[in-house]
C-alpha cells in the first residue's frame, strides 16, 4: 500500500481517492457511458482537516434568537437603570424644592409676625403724616401779619399815625376774590391802613415805600379828608401776592 505524507501525517491511498471523488463536480458523476472526457481536476490539497456543519438550521436560528434576546435584555436593563436614575433625580429635586418652599413660607410667617409687632408704630407714622398734611393745608394761606404790619408801620412818614387796620385774605377753603381790572397781578390778601396827620400827608411817597415791602403786589390810594379838629385822615390799600405766604409747614419752601 502506497502512503502520502502531508502536514498532519500519513493518509492511505483509498482515503485520497475518496477525497478526490468528493471534490469532483456533481455533473461528472452522473455522466455514465458518456464519450466526453472528464474535466481535469485542480491540484489536490492534502493535510487540511475536513469540517462538516451537521447542525440543523433550527439550532442555528435558535442560537441567533438567543443572542438577540440577550442583547434586548441588556438594552432593557440599561433603559430601566436610566429611568430609575431619572426618577431618583426628579424625586431629589422635588424634595429640595419642597424644603426651599417650606423655608420661604417660614420666613414669610416670621416677617408677618414682626410686622404685627410694629403695627402700632406704622399707625403712629400714618397719623403723623396725616397731621403734617393737615398743617400744610391749613397754613397754606397763612401770612405772618405781625412781621408785615411792623414793616408797614416803619414806612409811615413823620407825623403820621396809624389808627386802623383792615385785613381781607384767602383761606384754605376759599380763594381770594381777584380784581376785574386788566393787567393786575394775582392777589391773595388786601390790607387797608387808616392814618391821621396834622398836615397833609405825602401819599405818593408813602405808597412807593409800601410797594417795596416783600410780598406786595400793588398799592392803591384811598380818600383824604379833613376832620373838624383840623386833622387829615387818609387811607391806603395794599394787595399781597403768593410770596407773602409764610410757608412755615412747607419743608421745601419754609422760612
Residue 78 is predicted with a pLDDT of: 95
Q: For cell 408797614, name the residue.
A: 152
Q: pLDDT tens digit string along 59-68?
A: 888 888 999 9
Of the chain, the percentage scoring pLDDT greater than 90 comes to 31
How crowded is the C-beta side of 111, counted as CA atoms within 13 Å? 6
What single-letter DSSP state applies at residue 252? T
Q: Once rounded to an integer, what is the mean pLDDT over residues 218-227?
A: 88
Tell me if 195 sits within 8 A of 224, measured CB to CB.
Answer: no
129 or 44, higher pLDDT: 129
Q: For residue 3, is pLDDT > 50? A: no
Q: Once rounded to an integer, what is the mean pLDDT over residues 154-159?
A: 90
Residue 46 is predicted with a pLDDT of: 63
10-24, 81-95, 125-139, 169-183: range with lowest mean pLDDT: 10-24
Residue 70 is predicted with a pLDDT of: 93
Q: For residue 81, is pLDDT > 70? A: yes
Question: Average pLDDT of the chain?
Answer: 77
Q: At what angle do helices 119-138 and 57-117 cross, to 10 degrees?
A: 60
Residue 88 is predicted with a pLDDT of: 93
Angle at 221 between CA 239 and CA 156, to 5 degrees: 85
Residue 57 is predicted with a pLDDT of: 83
74-83, 168-177, 234-243: range with lowest mean pLDDT: 168-177
Of the chain, the percentage scoring pLDDT greater than 70 comes to 74
Burial 179-203 (b: 16+ CB within 10 A, else e): beeeeeeebbbbbebebbbeeebeb
Q: For residue 29, is pLDDT > 60? A: no
Give CA–CA dist 200/39, Å, rounded. 170
- The listed range with the strongest mean pLDDT (85-99, 137-151, 234-248) is 85-99
Amino acid at each position: 500500500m502506497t502512503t502520502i505524507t502531508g502536514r498532519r501525517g500519513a493518509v492511505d491511498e483509498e482515503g485520497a481517492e475518496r477525497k478526490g471523488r468528493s471534490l469532483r463536480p456533481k455533473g461528472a458523476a452522473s455522466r455514465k457511458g458518456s464519450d466526453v472526457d472528464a474535466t481535469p481536476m485542480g491540484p489536490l490539497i492534502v493535510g487540511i482537516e475536513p469540517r462538516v456543519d451537521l447542525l440543523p438550521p433550527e439550532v442555528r436560528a435558535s442560537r441567533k434568537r438567543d443572542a438577540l434576546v440577550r442583547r434586548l435584555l441588556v438594552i432593557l436593563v440599561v433603559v430601566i437603570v436610566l429611568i430609575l436614575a431619572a426618577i431618583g433625580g426628579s424625586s431629589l429635586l422635588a424634595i429640595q424644592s419642597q424644603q426651599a418652599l417650606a423655608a420661604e413660607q417660614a420666613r414669610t410667617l416670621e416677617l408677618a409676625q414682626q410686622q404685627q409687632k410694629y403695627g402700632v408704630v406704622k399707625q403712629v407714622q400714618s397719623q403723623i403724616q396725616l397731621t403734617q398734611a393737615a398743617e400744610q393745608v391749613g397754613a397754606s394761606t397763612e401770612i405772618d401779619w405781625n412781621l408785615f404790619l411792623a414793616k408797614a408801620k416803619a414806612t409811615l412818614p413823620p407825623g403820621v399815625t396809624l389808627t386802623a387796620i383792615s385785613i381781607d385774605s384767602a383761606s384754605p377753603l376759599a380763594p381770594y376774590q381777584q380784581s376785574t381790572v386788566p393787567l393786575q397781578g394775582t392777589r391773595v390778601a388786601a390790607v387797608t391802613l387808616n392814618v391821621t396827620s396834622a398836615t397833609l400827608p405825602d401819599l405818593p411817597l408813602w405808597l412807593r415805600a409800601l410797594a417795596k415791602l416783600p410780598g406786595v403786589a400793588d398799592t392803591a390810594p384811598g380818600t383824604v379828608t379833613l376832620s373838624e379838629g383840623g386833622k387829615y385822615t387818609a387811607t391806603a390799600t395794599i394787595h399781597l401776592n403768593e410770596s407773602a405766604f409764610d410757608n412755615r409747614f412747607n419743608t421745601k419752601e419754609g422760612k
